[in-house]
Chain A
Amino acid sequence: MKSSRALLLLLLFVAVAFGAWKFFSSRGPGAADHLTVYYTKLDGTTLGRWPVSLRTQQSGESDIEHLHNMVLYAAVQAVAGPPSDVSAIRFPPGTHVLGVNVHGSTATVDLSKDVTSQGGGSFGETGEFKGLVYTVTGVPTIQAVQVTIEGSTVATLPGGHLELDTPLRRSDF
Chain B
Amino acid sequence: MLLAAASARASTATYLFDGRPLALTHVSHAAGAAAVGINDPGLRSLVRSLGAVITWHPGERYVLITTGAAQVISFSVGDRGYDVGPLSATAEFAPYLVGSEVYLPLADLLRSLSLAPRSDGNATVLQREITSIDVRGSAQQAILVARGAGSLSPRVASESGDTIVYAFDGFGSTLEGSRPVDAGGVRSMQVRVTGSVRNPRTLVTLTLQPGTRHDPPRSNDGDFEVAFGGGGSAPPLLAGGASAPVAAAPVATMTPVAEPTPPFASASPPDGTNASAAPAGTTIATVGGVSVQNGSDGATVTIPVVGNAQFAWHRLRAPDNRFWIDVQNAHLADGPLDQPEPDPLISVRVRQIDPQTVRVALSVAGSKNISVSPSATGIAISVGTQEVADGPHFGSGSVGTLVSSNEPQALVTPVPPDEYGQNDAGATWKFGPHSTYVPTRPKLIVIDPGHGGGDVGTTRNGVTEASLTLDMAKRLQAILVARGWQVQLTRETDVDVKRTTQSAQEAISDGYRSTDAQDLQARDDIANNAGARLFVSIHVNSFINSGPSGTTTYFSKPDDVPLAQAVQHDLAATLGTKDDGTIKSKLYVTLHANMPAVLVETAFLSNPDDYAKLNSADWRQRVAESIADGIDQYAKQYPVPSANQ
Between A49, A125, A165, the greatest number of chain B beta carbons within 10 A of the residue's beta carbon is seen for A49
- Are the CB atoms of A126 and B520 closer together than 8 Å? no
Closest B residue, CB atoms, query A119: B458
Q: Which residues of B contact A170 (CB under 8 A)?
A: 424, 426-427
* A69–B62 CB distance below 8 A: yes
Chain A proximity mask over B208-224: 1 for CB below 8 Å, otherwise 0: 00000000000011110
Smallest beta-carbon distance B25→chain A, Å: 23
Cβ of B601 and Cβ of A80 under 8 Å apart?
Answer: no
In angstroms, Cα B568 to Cα A116, docked, is 29
Q: Which of A143-173 contact B (CB under 8 A)?
A: 149, 152-163, 165, 168, 170-173
The answer to whether A85 touches B145, judged by C-beta atoms less than 8 angstroms apart, is yes
- The reply on B280 being an interface residue by CB < 8 A is no
Q: Do B513 and A155 touch (CB < 8 A)?
A: yes
Q: Which one, B410-418, B436-444, B470-478, is touching chain A?
A: B410-418
Is B544 at the interface (CB under 8 A from chain A)?
A: yes
Give the complex CA separation of A154 and B60 in angstroms: 27
Query: For window 33-59 of chain A, which residues contact chain B by CB distance below 8 Å?
Result: 33-34, 36, 38, 42-45, 47-53, 55, 58-59
Give the contacting residue for A92; candidates B3, B57, B544, B587; CB below 8 A.
B544
* Distance of A159 Cα from B85 Cα, bound (Å): 34
Is B427's CB under 8 angstroms from A171's CB? yes
- What 0/1 pattern do residues 71 to 102 of B give for CB contact below 8 A with A? 11010101101010110100000000000000
Out of B60, B517, B544, which one reaches A165, CB within 8 Å?
A: B517
Is B554 close to A, CB under 8 A?
yes
A166 to B556, CA, bound (A): 14
Asked if A58 and B61 make an inter-chain contact with CB atoms under 8 angstroms apart, the answer reads yes
* B591 within 8 A of partner (CB): yes
Confirm or deny: B516 has a beta carbon within 8 angstroms of a beta carbon on chain A. Answer: yes
Question: What residue in chain A is nearest B511 (Cβ atoms)?
Answer: A152
Point out the residue from B380, B451, B589 that lies within 8 Å of A83, measured CB to CB.
Answer: B380
CB <8 Å contact, B424 and A123: no
Inter-subunit contact A85/B418 (CB<8 Å): no
Residues A48 and B426 in contact in the complex (CB < 8 Å), given A53-B415, A161-B588: no
Select the stretch in B232-240, B534-542, B630-638 that faces chain A: B534-542
Partner-contacting stretch, out of B119-127, B400-408, B576-584: B576-584
Residue pair A84, B223 in contact (C-beta under 8 Å): yes
Q: Which residues in B have their C-beta under 8 angstroms from that of A126? A: 554, 583, 585, 587
With most chain B CB atoms within 10 A of its CB, the pick from A68, A79, A84, A93 is A84
Q: Is B388 an interface residue (CB 8 A)?
A: no
Q: Which of B245-253, B295-303, B355-363 contacts A (4 or more CB under 8 A)?
A: B295-303
B591 touches A163 (CB 8 A): yes
Closest to A124 in B: B543
Does B459 sit within 8 A of A, measured CB to CB? Answer: yes
Q: Are A58 and B76 in contact (CB under 8 A)?
A: yes
Out of A34, A43, A99, A125, name the residue touching B293 (CB < 8 Å). A34
> When the two chains form their complex, are residues B584 and A173 in contact, meaning their CB atoms are under 8 A apart?
yes
B516, A168: Cβ atoms closer than 8 Å: no
Q: Which of B417-443 contact A (CB under 8 A)?
A: 417-420, 422, 424, 426-428
> Which residue from chain B places its CB closest to the CB of A118 in the assembled complex?
B544
Residues of A within 8 A of B504 (CB): 158-159
Say if the beta carbon of B29 comes within 8 Å of chain A: no
> How far, in whole Å, are A165 and B518 apart by their CA atoms in the complex?
13
Does A67 make an interface contact (CB < 8 A)?
no
CA A109 to CA B57, docked complex, whole Å: 14
**Does A97 reach chain B (CB closer than 8 Å)?**
yes
Asked if A80 contacts B71 (CB within 8 A), the reply is: yes
Is A16 close to B, CB under 8 A? no
B6 CB within 8 Å of chain A? yes
Contacts of B457 in A (CB 8 A): 119, 121, 159
Asked if A122 is at the interface of the complex by the 8 Å CB criterion, the answer is: yes
Q: Which partner residue on chain A sits nearest B371 by CB separation? A: A85
The reply to whether A85 and B585 contact each other, CB–CB distance below 8 Å, is no
A84 touches B69 (CB 8 A): yes
- Give the number of chain B interface residues (Cβ < 8 Å): 94
- B461 smallest CB distance to A (angstroms): 14
Within 8 Å CB of B295, what residues of A?
36, 49, 51
A134 to B424, CA, bound (A): 8
The listed residue with most B CB atoms (<10 A of its CB), out of A97, A98, A119, A170, is A119
Of chain A, the residue at the smallest CB distance from B85 is: A83
In the bound complex, do residue B552 and residue A53 qualify as a contact, i.e. CB atoms below 8 Å apart?
no
**Could you tell me if A85 and B511 are in contact, using CB atoms closer than 8 angstroms?**
no
Check if B583 sits within 8 Å of A152, measured CB to CB. Answer: no
Determine whether the beta carbon of B70 is less than 8 Å from that of A36.
Answer: no
Minimum CB–CB distance for B435 against chain A, Å: 19
Closest to A98 in B: B55
Q: In chain A, residues 77-135, which have Cβ atoms closer than 8 Å to a Cβ of chain B?
A: 77, 79-87, 89-90, 92-94, 96-99, 113, 116, 118-126, 130, 134
Is the beta-carbon distance between A73 and B74 smaller than 8 angstroms? yes
Q: Could you tell me if A120 and B542 are in contact, using CB atoms closer than 8 angstroms?
A: yes
- Does the CB pair A121–B540 fall under 8 Å? yes
A120 B62 Cβ-Cβ under 8 A: no
Q: Which residue of A lies closest to B504 (CB)?
A: A158
A77 to B145, CA, bound (A): 23
Is the Cβ of B512 less than 8 Å from the Cβ of A157? yes
B263 CB contacts on chain A under 8 angstroms: none
Structural contact, A158 and B516, CB atoms closer than 8 A? yes
Q: Is A60 an interface residue (CB 8 A)?
A: yes
- Bound CA–CA A134/B584 (angstroms): 14
B221 touches A52 (CB 8 A): no
- Beyond A99-B55, A170-B427, 4 additional contacts (C-beta under 8 Å) are A84-B69, A156-B516, A158-B455, A163-B587
23 inter-chain pairs at a CB distance below 8 angstroms, sorted by A residue, are A38-B424, A42-B548, A44-B583, A45-B581, A51-B293, A51-B418, A52-B415, A53-B86, A60-B78, A69-B60, A76-B72, A86-B382, A99-B57, A119-B458, A122-B585, A124-B543, A152-B512, A153-B513, A155-B512, A156-B517, A161-B585, A163-B587, A165-B517
